[in-house]
Amino acid sequence: MPRFFIRQEQVSEGKIRIMGDDARHISFSLRMAVGESVTVCDMQGIEYDCEIRAFEGGEVVLGILSSRPSENEPKVNITLYQALPKGDKLDSVIQKAVECGVSKIVPFESERCIVRIKADTEDKKRTRRCRIAEEASKQCGRSIIPDVTLPVSFDKMLEGAKKSDVCIFCYEGEGTEPLGKILSGLSLPEKNRDFEVSVVVGSEGGFSISEAERARECGFSLAGLGKRILRTETAPVFVLSSIVCFSELL
């Protein structure tokens, strides 16, 4: 069933009005008709089962048949801090991270990043990345659209991530603790959406020793991801899947 996201103010008197690109998508791309069904999410954890009632002046009017709290979100609130990778790898990371249940994605620049922040193009890139997150949310049945922020510096990343309850810093150097051991000590299935987890992943070259030490000084857990070296686009999927396994599937 097609899924769309709305703001709470679009709900009124048992009806929902869909506007803009989503209305055009329903009308012209999907070619839906009066009486057909759609699912609508209000970004506040509520899903609505609706049917199309009318097409009015470029808007689609939906009638609410039923509503329910969404059960599709992870039990913990996960932010992915991803060092800028080469090419279009970040697009893939965003898509897969959303499917794995991430709540927010923050790109950042580290010492070994080949790609650097370019202030004059970042707004345009963010618009595209947010669109990728939205499409992934629709495809996999999420009830929110995870935010993709503008890129930040390594210092800003540390400042933001250390506010979480748990900070997982993925590192292939010495002095790490196995990811499984870190997660098993958290009792994640007993936590809830107020429990914050930050996951920090490096670019193709990983992190320098000094960056890892700074993260450790900020209270981050330096996590080893096993005996194999994972690509920058593989590591976040691996870690997020592990968190979901411990919090939902055990």
pLDDT (average), residues 195-220: 96
Residue recorded with tokens 């002046």: 57
Confidence band for 185, pLDDT divided at 50, 70 and 90: confident
pLDDT (average), residues 111-135: 96
Give the per-residue pLDDT at 141.
92
At how many degrees (to 10) do helices 154-161 and 209-217 cross?
Answer: 30
Confidence band for 247, pLDDT divided at 50, 70 and 90: confident
Whether residue 188 has pLDDT greater than 70:
no
Dump pLDDT digits (tens) for 44-53: 889 999 999 9
Give the per-residue pLDDT at 147.
97
Distance of alpha carbon 212 from alpha carbon 233, whole angstroms: 19
Dump pLDDT digits (tens) for 3-46: 999 998 899 999 999 999 999 999 999 999 999 999 999 988 89
Phi, psi of 204 (to 5 degrees): -55, -35
| Complete domains list, the chain, with CATH | 3-69 (2.40.240.20), 77-249 (3.40.1280.10)
Distance of alpha carbon 164 from alpha carbon 198, whole angstroms: 6
Query: 106 vs 37, 83, 100, 170, 200, CA distance in Å?
Result: 35, 8, 16, 15, 9
Dump pLDDT digits (tens) for 146-162: 999 999 999 999 999 99
Dump pLDDT digits (tens) for 70-101: 888 888 999 999 999 999 999 999 999 999 99
- Kindly state the helix (H) or strand (E) to which residue 147 belongs, with its residue range: strand 147-148
Q: Where are the alpha helices (DSSP H) in the chain?
A: 20-24, 89-100, 122-140, 154-161, 179-184, 209-217, 235-244
Give the per-residue pLDDT at 66.
96
Give the per-residue pLDDT at 192.
66
Amino acid at 192: N
Q: What share of the chain is helix, strand, coil (3-state, %, to 5)?
A: 35, 30, 40
Structure tokens, 34 = 């009066």
Whether residue 57 has pLDDT greater than 70:
yes
